[in-house]
Chain A
């Protein structure tokens, strides 16, 4: 028999439980609103001459405003800071810059949560692999490339081994950790992209794989829209947790 045994004496859920649910839901709303406020503040800070990031702490539930602001402050769509004006330094610089996430539509949908988790995010839903390489090269040319990066670019066209090799042996060669993300997209190139990505750790010591195509099956909650690609809020949460774990657990 398929055992689906019920609790013979289930607990009583009372008003205390109901209040707790409301309180926790409100906390999550406030957390998201904090991210939105940061998104508003960051461009103003940039216009004042640049904002030095003060923290990359990913261990707390409520990261500093400046960390969330970093999500926006580094986006390619923002104006370049006026380097003739002295930068406003709010605190001593961090020992290590926050890890970077570059990607397309998945990352775009998770930008707030990734920012709250301490990542710098650069996302464009229509970005090709070649365009992503250009973004990384531009960041590297300014000396702002962090020590770790999550690359989520397998869902917008085929990627080729020679291009990945050029990236890993060039711009990303000195990085301590590069995490490539597999894709759930239903296009014909997806399997080849995923196969290539899964083969990378055996060739490059600094490469790890976030196997999203596999891990999404374990996502708790209601995670994907019916296209099985775009993330619902639960999927954003799961992706963010996995990305943080992939960076933090070599």
Chain B
């Protein structure tokens, strides 16, 4: 299938993945568009696994956006600026920034983009068992980092 025929589906997927990480419409739109530019450039190689590819690239772009925008160490945003949901999102962003690359890719694809373990394994070239291990370790790190927030992962 040609790129244009799948544009609507994939750009929506890229936006949804990015928004779940950056939590900002403008930034998520930028990430989605950049992701689609890259997808078009690589289309001949990714067409048969475009959905997980787009999710992975959008997530990495989104994390890169968060990294660029985060305040320098020691400069915390005033508590009055953010509500509880935003606070949890910031915690998630910071956690994602700290996770080792492979754990982060697994956590993002599995729990942010809602892919199955088998799909994550296929996209990353890992066994399902390895995906489970990375996911478990990533969630353990999540629980440790968000120790003040009840953590429940919805599969």
Chain A residues with CB under 8 Å of chain B are 1-7, 10-11, 13, 17-18, 20-22, 24-25, 28-29, 216-222, 226, 233-234
Contact = CB atoms under 8 A, between A and B. Distances in A.
Interface residues of B, number: 45
B79 interface: no
B152 A13 contact: no
Interface string B13-42: 001100110010100110011001110111
B92 A2 contact: yes
23 contacts: A2-B92, A2-B111, A2-B142, A3-B85, A4-B111, A5-B20, A6-B19, A6-B20, A10-B12, A10-B16, A11-B15, A13-B11, A13-B15, A17-B36, A21-B37, A25-B40, A216-B101, A217-B101, A221-B38, A222-B56, A222-B60, A226-B125, A233-B41
B63 interface: yes
Contact of B150 (A1, A7, A13, A29): A1
A25 B61 contact: no
A10 B15 contact: yes
Nearest to B113: A4
Contacts of B48: none
B129 interface: no
Nearest to B146: A2
A25 B36 CA distance: 9
B153 interface: yes
Contacts of A21: 7, 11, 33, 36-37, 40
Contact of B60 (A10, A20, A221): A221
A224 to B, nearest CB: 9
A220 B96 CA distance: 13
B37 A25 contact: yes
B12 A1 contact: no
A25 B63 contact: no
Given A3-B85, A222-B57, A222-B60, 5 more contacts: A1-B150, A13-B8, A17-B36, A21-B7, A28-B37
